[in-house]
Amino acid sequence: MTKPSKAVEKIEHLLADPWAVDIQKFGEQEVHNPDKRKLFNALHTYLLEKRQELIINVKHFVV
């Protein structure tokens, strides 16, 4: 079995708790790193969706 790379471990850590990450930084990184724009956009979107999902699943949440 191969050991996951540091980058993979870091991404898994970021995805574990969507509230522990400042998603605004991903938006800023999109501007400064055009080569990785799609990656940062995908991470930003994923974390935002997870946050929304957690809020919607709260028992007292009403639409």
DSSP for 14-53, please give it: HHH-GGGS-HHHHHHHHHH-GGGHHHHHHHHHHHHHHHHH
Asked if the structure places residue 61 within a domain, the reply is no
Number of domains in the chain: 1
How do residues 3-62 score in pLDDT, each as one tens digit?
667 877 777 877 788 888 888 887 788 888 888 888 888 888 888 999 899 888 888 877
Distances (CA, A) of 55 to 25, 32, 59: 21, 31, 9
Asked if the structure places residue 43 within a domain, the reply is yes
Asked if the structure places residue 62 within a domain, the reply is no
- Over its C-alpha atoms, the chain yields an Rg (Å, rounded) of 14
Tell me which of 2 and 50 has the higher pLDDT. 50
How would residue 2 be classed by pLDDT, with cut points 50, 70 and 90?
low
